[in-house]
């Protein structure tokens, strides 16, 4: 190589000369000709120099490798860096070699880096293996419903850091299946929580689910609702903290489906009244246990604990119930038992303390249980003298031991609030009313009930009437549709003043919060009873406003009951639907046309010489008091067409006996007013006759004095209908 151009220093020339002299001419690579010296003479080491014939190009003349393409060297003959460049280049950007293993003799070999890469590869293999096994375990669980076996198989995997994937896989598989599998998944998560799956792993699993909501919705259209319900169920079951919702909202894109899921869980499920019970039963509930079943199990475990004294076993039984939202019932029943069996007081308080300190019964459930006792103590005082004093001492002990926050409870005075009715009278009447109602549910004898109530309430006390109404509906709500229908049939037969029935419903609504703890559908039941009372004309529509004035809180259960009752009454054909809500006592399947036909035949029979009492009995048997306006309409039309007032006698008897009420009478006259133009085609003096009968009805008190109709046939005031 010629350095005569002066670009290289003297030192570099010497170094190059030394290297050239010591180099092996067969293994040395040809040096490139300098681009800066195109006119320089050829170097003695040039590829085209006659002194180096063996290192010419691959296909050059005289090359000994021309006919032998196999290398005789032990050195790997593949192109350097796979043909992606030589010295000073980065090689192929996307080149990878899975078979590559680092050479420990390489001067660039890094033992720690190689160890990390090996661990990462092993971890990837382990995770892929875990995913396959987890999927198999989930599928087997859905087929067998065996929680114990599933827990054991998950434990055998011995990969606690991957448990979040099991949570994600279990829920995602259940989302695309029926309610049975969804409930099974929720139950399994509660069973595995803490013992087999660490809480942070459950949290991480739900994070992954929310992040994947956009992917799930491609195959599962109702992803938002189903996943929201899973999250709400996890919060109710205490396996996911409520703060999860707010925290995750901060991490997700605003337009993602995950945000919709979290909002639906928060506002659609967890913010609803009685949300715990509703969510728990959305997919069928844990093992389909009823409230009565749970109460019975609670009683059994408390009795067994008092006998055995085994707190560990009692706590296990509480945990096995799997109803954390209903633990306040355990607190309440334990306190009642402690007050009834004073010798077991310390033992029962120790159990509650142990359960509270272990987190088995959370603080809010403990407070709710004591709060229910404060509300219940007056009734308890009838059976346990000094119940208030005993309860105060129990509250004091629990607060001093630190497992009850007494400041969160209502104040409890030693003296009960004074009542207008003597406790002794109310106590005796409640007991007898309960036995009367229970006997009625067995016999169905309404006349016997009326006789017994009149005998027990010979002073016709309004307060006792209200108590009977409350007791009747309370007992019916805790039973089947048959008893609910019987209670609805009995209520109008009692002929209580409307104010007494209103007071009874007010008492029911005031105690609805407590009733809701035992009966999750109290709002629906009370609303239906209230609407049924209006349909049966036990109450007038304006009575609903009177009840509403005493339930001022917009979010109270009372306001929800009234809102639902009004909604039921406004629906099309509401009367027929409400009447049949619990079976309708033999009227199921009757079409309106059938009822009209029966009414027509009843009137024809009476007009031809029938008995008034028999006609009234037939009307009662129809069992459709909300449709009695049809009787009024048909009777009036027949009277005007045939000019025979025999049917007027029947209307007088029906109104006098209360069979046809003022509202139904006004509605019947109003319907005739609406069809008066058509009636005038057959009866020319129909308008004149109708005006005459309106005046007679007003004089007899059937219609309000403000009732009138215009020539267009539209009635006003009472005639709206």
For 663-679, what is each residue's pLDDT tens digit? 788 888 888 888 888 88
pLDDT of residue 268: 85
Residue 312 vs residue 324, higher pLDDT: 312
pLDDT of residue 713: 46
Q: What is the pTM of this model?
A: 0.35
Which of the given ranges, 37-51, 371-385, 430-444, has the highest pLDDT on average? 430-444
Report the pLDDT averaged over residues 576-597: 63
Distance separating alpha carbons of residues 441 and 488, to the nearest angstrom? 12
The three-point CA angle 403-325-508 to 5° equals 105
Task: Using pLDDT thresholds of 50, 70 and 90, give the confidence band for residue 44.
Answer: very low
pLDDT of residue 705: 79
Report the pLDDT averaged over residues 141-161: 88
3-state secondary structure of 715: strand
The three-point CA angle 497-501-506 to 5° equals 145
Residue 62 predicted with pLDDT over 50: no
Residue 555 predicted with pLDDT over 80: no
Residue 322 predicted with pLDDT over 90: no
Structural element, H or E, at residue 708: strand 708-709
- Strand segments (E) across 571-627: none
Distance separating alpha carbons of residues 517 and 55, to the nearest angstrom? 97
Distance separating alpha carbons of residues 536 and 540, to the nearest angstrom? 9
pLDDT of residue 39: 42
- Strand segments (E) across 579-714: 708-709
Report the pLDDT averaged over residues 201-206: 94
pLDDT of residue 12: 61
Report the pLDDT averaged over residues 523-531: 86
109-118, 256-265, 341-350, 517-526: lowest mean pLDDT where? Answer: 109-118
3-state secondary structure of 83: helix
Task: Using pLDDT thresholds of 50, 70 and 90, give the confidence band for residue 231.
Answer: very high
pLDDT above 90 covers a percentage of the chain that reads 14
Distance separating alpha carbons of residues 196 and 188, to the nearest angstrom? 11
* Phi-psi category of residue 203: left, alpha or beta, with phi > 0 → left and psi -120 to 50 → alpha: alpha
19-28, 205-214, 347-356, 457-466: lowest mean pLDDT where? Answer: 19-28
Distance separating alpha carbons of residues 568 and 582, to the nearest angstrom? 14
Cβ contacts of 465 within 8 Å, gap of 6 or more: 457, 494, 496, 497, 500, 501, 503, 504
* Phi-psi category of residue 145: left, alpha or beta, with phi > 0 → left and psi -120 to 50 → alpha: left
Residue 33 predicted with pLDDT over 50: no
Domains of the chain: 120-281 (1.25.40.180), 291-408 (1.25.40.180), 423-579 (1.25.40.180), 592-700 (1.25.40.180)
pLDDT of residue 328: 85
pLDDT of residue 422: 55
Report the pLDDT averaged over residues 256-276: 86
Cβ contacts of 289 within 8 Å, gap of 6 or more: 323
Cβ contacts of 707 within 8 Å, gap of 6 or more: 666, 669, 694, 698, 715, 716, 717, 718, 719
Task: Using pLDDT thresholds of 50, 70 and 90, give the confidence band for residue 302.
Answer: very high
Residue 718 predicted with pLDDT over 50: no
Residue of 368, 335, 352, 360 whose CA lies nearest to 403? 352
pLDDT of residue 296: 84
Structural element, H or E, at residue 375: helix 363-381
Residue keyed to tokens 């114990």: 148
């Amino acid at each position: 190589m010629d350095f005569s151009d002066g670009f290289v220093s003297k030192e570099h020339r010497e170094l190059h000369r030394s290297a050239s002299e010591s180099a092996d001419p067969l293994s040395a690579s040809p040096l490139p000709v300098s681009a800066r010296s195109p006119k320089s003479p050829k170097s003695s080491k040039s590829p085209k120099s006659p002194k180096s014939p063996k290192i010419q190009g691959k296909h050059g003349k005289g090359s000994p490798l021309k006919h032998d393409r196999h290398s005789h060297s032990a050195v790997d003959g593949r192109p350097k860096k796979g043909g992606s460049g030589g010295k000073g280049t980065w090689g192929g950007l996307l080149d990878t070699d899975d078979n590559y293993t680092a050479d420990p003799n390489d001067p660039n070999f890094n033992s720690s880096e190689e160890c990390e890469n090996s661990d990462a590869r092993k971890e990837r293999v382990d995770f892929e293996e875990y995913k396959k096994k987890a999927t198999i375990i989930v599928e087997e669980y859905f087929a067998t419903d065996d929680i114990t076996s599933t827990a054991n198989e998950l434990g055998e995997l011995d990969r606690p850091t991957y448990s979040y994937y099991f949570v994600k896989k279990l829920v995602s598989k259940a989302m695309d299946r029926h309610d049975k599998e969804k409930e099974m998944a929720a139950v399994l998560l509660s069973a595995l929580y803490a013992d087999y799956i660490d809480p942070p792993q459950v949290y991480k699993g739900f994070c992954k689910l929310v992040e994947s909501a956009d992917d799930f919705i491609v195959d599962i259209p109702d992803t938002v609702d189903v996943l929201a319900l899973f999250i709400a169920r996890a919060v109710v079951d205490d396996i996911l903290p409520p703060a999860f919702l707010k925290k995750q909202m901060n991490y997700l894109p605003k337009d993602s489906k995950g945000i919709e899921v979290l909002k639906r869980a928060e506002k659609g499920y967890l913010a609803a009244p009685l949300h715990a019970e509703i969510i728990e039963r959305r997919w069928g509930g844990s093992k389909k246990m009823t409230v009565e079943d749970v109460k019975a199990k609670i009683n059994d475990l408390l009795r067994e604990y008092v006998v055995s004294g085994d707190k560990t076993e009692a706590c296990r039984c509480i945990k096995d119930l799997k109803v954390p939202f209903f633990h306040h019932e355990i607190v309440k029943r334990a306190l009642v038992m402690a007050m009834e069996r004073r010798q077991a007081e310390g033992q029962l308080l120790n159990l509650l303390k142990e359960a509270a300190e272990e987190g088995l019964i959370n603080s809010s459930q403990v407070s709710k249980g004591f709060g229910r006792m404060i509300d219940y103590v007056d009734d308890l005082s009838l059976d346990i003298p000094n119940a208030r004093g005993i309860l105060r001492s129990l509250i004091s002990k629990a607060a001093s031991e630190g497992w009850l926050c007494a400041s969160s409870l209502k104040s409890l005075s030693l003296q009960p609030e004074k009542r207008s009715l003597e406790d002794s009278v109310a106590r005796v009447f409640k007991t007898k009313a309960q036995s009367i109602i229970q006997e009625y549910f067995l016999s169905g004898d309404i006349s016997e009930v009326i006789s017994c109530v009149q005998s027990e309430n010979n002073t016709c006390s309004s307060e006792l009437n209200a108590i009977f109404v409350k007791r009747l509906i309370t007992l019916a709500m805790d039973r089947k549709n048959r008893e609910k229908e019987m209670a609805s049939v009995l209520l109008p037969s009692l002929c209580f003043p409307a104010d007494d029935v209103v007071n009874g419903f007010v008492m029911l609504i005031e105690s609805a919060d407590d009733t809701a703890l035992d009966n999750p559908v109290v709002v629906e039941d009370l609303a239906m009873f209230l609407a049924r009372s209006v349909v049966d004309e036990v109450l007038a529509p304006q009575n609903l406003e009177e009840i509403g004035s005493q339930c001022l809180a917009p979010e109270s259960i009372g306001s929800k009951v009234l809102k639902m009752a009004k909604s039921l009454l406004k629906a099309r054909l509401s009367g027929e639907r409400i009447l049949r809500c619990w079976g309708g006592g033999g009227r199921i399947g009757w079409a309106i046309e059938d009822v009209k036909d029966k009414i027509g035949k009843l009137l024809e029979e009476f007009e031809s010489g029938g008995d008034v009492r028999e006609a009234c009995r037939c009307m009662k048997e129809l069992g459709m008091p909300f449709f009695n306006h049809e009787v009024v309409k048909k009777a009036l039309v027949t009277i005007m067409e045939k000019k025979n007032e025999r049917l007027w006698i029947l209307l007088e008897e029906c109104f006098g006996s209360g069979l046809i009420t003022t509202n139904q009478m006004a509605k019947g006259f109003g319907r005739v007013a609406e069809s008066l133009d058509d009636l005038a085609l057959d009866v020319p003096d129909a308008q004149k006759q109708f005006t005459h009968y309106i005046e007679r009805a007003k004089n007899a008190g059937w219609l309000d004095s403000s009732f009138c109709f215009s020539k267009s046939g539209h009635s006003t005031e009472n005639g709206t209908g």
